[in-house]
Structure 1
Amino acid sequence: MIPEFAAASDDALPIWPVWKGDAPPAEANAGGWADACEFTAAAGEICLLPDGQGGLAGALFGLGDRARAGRDRFCFARATALPKGIWRLAARPEGFDVTEAALGWLLGQYRFTRYKGSQPDWPRLVAPDGIDAPHLQAIAAAEFLTRDLINTPAGDMGPEQLESAARSLAGEIGAEIRVTSGAALLDDKLPMIHAVGRAAATEPRLIDIRLGETGPQLTIVGKGVCFDTGGLDIKPATSMGLMKKDMGGAATALGLLKMLATTGAAEGRRVRVLIPAVENSISGNAFHPGDVLTSRKGLTVEVNNTDAEGRLVLADALALAAEERPDLMISFATLTGAARVALGPDIPPFYCDDDGTAQAISAAAMSVADPLWRMPFWEPYESKIEPQIADLDNAPAGGMAGSITAALFLRRFTEGAGRYVHLDIYGWQASAAPGRAKGGAGQGARAILAALPAILP
């Protein structure tokens, strides 16, 4: 499905958003009818208004309690439950964010239908005056790409299929792409990507996409573990069930690349996307607990848990990226359960040493309803990632501060980059919410897009 607004139409039915406790606008002529229907303007509540001839004259839509608006992100996405047809926004009460509402409407129409059913016949919204409709449509289409990639099971979205998706996007936006796979990873000095993925039936690979030739450089690295058994430190079945989403960082990176290209944000900038695409599987040649791997950067890594593989493949990709000395480097990864324990599924932590960059990202995240929360590269914890027999430990003992120690591990491989930002995302919506169907979810891409003018002018 392509998320689009409807063209303006004289037949478009009006929607009047109403805050709880406010009377419906007089022009809605809804007073007595709304009372008879016991319309309270609770968040997402819809009151259809008759035209007196057996048809519809419009609808009231409840926004809920104005003082608690922040508790219901993308509330207006619930208006996609209206009857099919063309609708228009007829009022903008104080405190109603029309841009968020319009984007929420588009995002609320996503359904993953590859294996079952078809897209519902959604109602359509005329683009409200004053919004940048093409910009919002491009953002929604990129988010749909991210969701589709995450939702596709590993049997149909392994490293080879992820490469195909990357090639398709590169062709769509006019980008260059190069892929290194199998034993060639060793020739190109990417040994940890090879070590993690060599046990799988599908060869590990590094996907390298470039867009633009002039301007400051943004390099995006996305974790592409297409399925994670845990390796020889095998996960229990309850932990393995959602591991098709362990390539959520790669899916988000590709979604962000699509946003940058289709909104025009990539113009005047060089954008590079690196995706180490692997399966962490089990076979006779799987890497072992206790192995010591030598990374591209030359740092040795003691493998104290084969289920902490994401940071290994990211490390080689980050080291490669840093050699080019990009102005800004960003990594997206479904990396740690510790991040979920700390902040829950809705708020990914991000790490950044540069206060100005971090503040701009935080502000942008709030402005576009794509929440992020800054966490520290806490240097006193550096000793936790330093084992006795190697330079680094991929899985420090103790179980505390797991997201921070993972971020510190990655930072060791970013020397040379102008600035580094790491996002520890979840990439999944456990239950449906306004604008977010159950399943795969992009996190952080819209925030980075909104922050880009400030962080990479």
Structure 2
Amino acid sequence: MRGEEWSTVEAELSPRHRAFAEATDFLPRAGRVALLPAEDGRIDRVLFGLGDGSDPFLAGKLPSLLPPGTYRLEPRPSLDRSAAALAWLLGSYRFSRYRKPASKEPLLVAPEGIDATEIGRIAEAVALGRDLVNTPANDLGPDEIEAAARSLADRHGAAITVTQGAALARDFPLVHAVGAASPRAPRLIDLTWGDAGAPKVTLVGKGVVFDTGGLDIKPSSGMLLMKKDMGGSAAALAAASMILGAGLNLRLRLIIPAVENAIAGNAFRPGDVFRSRAGLTVEIGNTDAEGRLILADALALADEDKPDLLIDFATLTGAARVALGPDLPAFFTEDDDLALAVTDAGTKAVDPVWRLPLHKPYASLLDSKVADLNNVSGGPFAGAITAALFLRRFAPGTRSHVHFDLYGWNPSTKPGRPEGGEVQTARLVYALLKERYPAQ
């Protein structure tokens, strides 16, 4: 309940429950819980404070606060039961691949009047993406990302092709260059689904399963979370799962370049120059800016199809984290109407983002003396913007293009967001597309 509802709720309580709440000093502050006992000592009722109601996902705290049992949400005018049910499911997520899960968890009965199937579909897709991000690189490589995409395709009758080996070197030279040093073969995964005559929406996800930095090696502290560098592919897969499950009226394409940025004698080097799929030559200024390289080839492929909407997801720059922190992904687009729609969808889905500018004069920071462009600016300024400008060079024919620069990780537990891997912007994108292309 919200704070202003407490007097009404308190009046509805039995004398015993009212006395118990008073004895435990319960007040409906955000996140406060009181377990009211029945005469036999079992839990009869739970009081949960929503404070001022500003956090629609606050109910996501309940799975970690309540003992095992089956619970129901009482209808209250101020309670969005759909948001509360989704928050409960998202807050119930546990990554238990390597440790025994709790034998019993608190369970929620689906409230009447909500679309339980839809909410379950979203929660299942988020769990899929979180599992992928949380899995360490020794158990998750390009093979496993491909397997996740194939499983999605099989479940929904989508077509899928995978390019690797000599064909990858020929058709996607930047993807091949970044992944060449790993014993786990790099590849480009391409999934398509839907009516060919429907609006074309293409999702591209960065799939770097581990990033050592390459020959420009990261310090050990910089590698600790690099299993999450495939967080863009996880977000794209999660969004695709929601879209396919809902049967939205669109032609979906999902492209994932999947690589490991490793170190070996055949690793790509600073100063190397490669010709991209788009025909542009790229000088390597830093091998630790590998994500934009594999995305460049993937975006060039997407651009050839002339999609109505192109969205890419990537754990791309530390600069975006410095500017906005871990909870607020940056996004870039030249389409002002689309930017407003993205921001609105993020607010409604409780999946917030913040727009940063594609300041074109900064493109000169990527100039190269020996190639069409460098993969880094070489300076300390505007790192997220120059990365986004680099990507835009490879999809020039697509006006409606959104680039999300994600962190892909919850540094600490918040309601509905357990510490660990997170598929930021996946629910936002689904909400945006569901409004634009509803199922028929």
Both proteins in one fold, TM over 0.5:
yes
Measured after TM superposition, the shift of residue 174 of structure 1 is 1.4
Unaligned 5+ runs, structure 2: none
Corresponding pairs, count: 433
1:34-433 correspondence runs (5 A): 34-64=21-51, 66=52, 69-70=53-54, 72=55, 74-80=57-63, 81-94=65-78, 96-187=79-170, 189-214=171-196, 215-265=198-248, 268-433=249-414
Measured after TM superposition, the shift of residue 369 of structure 1 is 0.4
Provide the TM-score with structure 1 as the length reference: 0.92
Amino acid at match of 2:184: T
2:439 maps to 1:452 = no
What do the CA deviations read for 1:121-159 (whole angstroms, capped 9, x no partner)?
221112223321111110000000000000011111011
2:12 maps to 1:27 = yes
Measured after TM superposition, the shift of residue 390 of structure 1 is 1.4
Q: Distance in 2 between matches of 1:56 and 1:305?
A: 59
| Equivalent residues of 2:313, 2:405 under 8 A apart | yes
| Equivalent residues of 1:20, 1:40 under 8 A apart | no
Amino acid at match of 2:417: R
Q: CA 1:226–1:360 in structure 2 vs 1: closer, same or farther (change >3 Å)?
A: same
Q: Distance in 2 between matches of 1:73 and 1:53?
A: 34
What do the CA deviations read for 1:331-388 (whole angstroms, capped 9, x no partner)?
0000000010000000001111111111111111001100011111111211111222
Moved more, 296-305 or 178-187: 178-187
Q: Secondary structure at the match of 1:387?
A: coil
| Equivalent residues of 1:190, 1:295 under 8 A apart | yes
Q: Distance in 2 between matches of 1:376 and 1:120?
A: 49
CA RMSD for the aligned pairs?
Answer: 1.5
Q: Distance in 2 between matches of 1:395 and 1:414?
A: 18
| Equivalent residues of 2:409, 2:422 under 8 A apart | yes
Measured after TM superposition, the shift of residue 25 of structure 1 is 4.4
Measured after TM superposition, the shift of residue 46 of structure 1 is 1.1
| Equivalent residues of 2:36, 2:44 under 8 A apart | yes
| Equivalent residues of 1:33, 1:49 under 8 A apart | yes
Q: Secondary structure at the match of 2:253?
A: strand
Amino acid at match of 1:372: V
| Equivalent residues of 2:56, 2:80 under 8 A apart | no
| Equivalent residues of 2:310, 2:401 under 8 A apart | yes
Measured after TM superposition, the shift of residue 18 of structure 1 is 4.2
Provide the TM-score with structure 2 as the length reference: 0.95
Q: CA 1:424–1:446 in structure 2 vs 1: closer, same or farther (change >3 Å)?
A: same
Amino acid at match of 1:400: F
Q: CA 1:263–1:394 in structure 2 vs 1: closer, same or farther (change >3 Å)?
A: same
Moved more, 331-340 or 41-50: 41-50
Measured after TM superposition, the shift of residue 213 of structure 1 is 2.3
2:421 maps to what in 1? 440
1:14 maps to what in 2? none
| Equivalent residues of 1:213, 1:270 under 8 A apart | yes
Q: Secondary structure at the match of 1:89?
A: coil
1:10 maps to what in 2? none
Measured after TM superposition, the shift of residue 428 of structure 1 is 0.4
What do the CA deviations read for 1:38-75 (whole angstroms, capped 9, x no partner)?
002222211111222322221101112x1xx43x4621
Q: CA 1:454–1:156 in structure 2 vs 1: closer, same or farther (change >3 Å)?
A: same
Amino acid at match of 2:125: A
Amino acid at match of 1:394: N
Measured after TM superposition, the shift of residue 166 of structure 1 is 1.3
Q: Secondary structure at the match of 2:168?
A: helix
What do the CA deviations read for 1:150-192 (whole angstroms, capped 9, x no partner)?
00111110111111121112111211111011222123x2100
Q: Distance in 2 between matches of 1:199 and 1:90?
A: 57
Q: Distance in 1 between matches of 2:21 and 2:204?
A: 52
Q: Distance in 2 between matches of 1:430 and 1:389?
A: 41
Q: Distance in 1 between matches of 2:205 and 2:93?
A: 23
Identity %: 53
Unaligned 5+ runs, structure 1: 1-16
Measured after TM superposition, the shift of residue 35 of structure 1 is 0.8
Q: Secondary structure at the match of 2:34?
A: strand
| Equivalent residues of 2:280, 2:372 under 8 A apart | yes
- Moved beyond 3 Å, runs of 4+: 453-457
What do the CA deviations read for 1:286-320 (whole angstroms, capped 9, x no partner)?
11001111111111111110000000000000001
Amino acid at match of 2:373: L
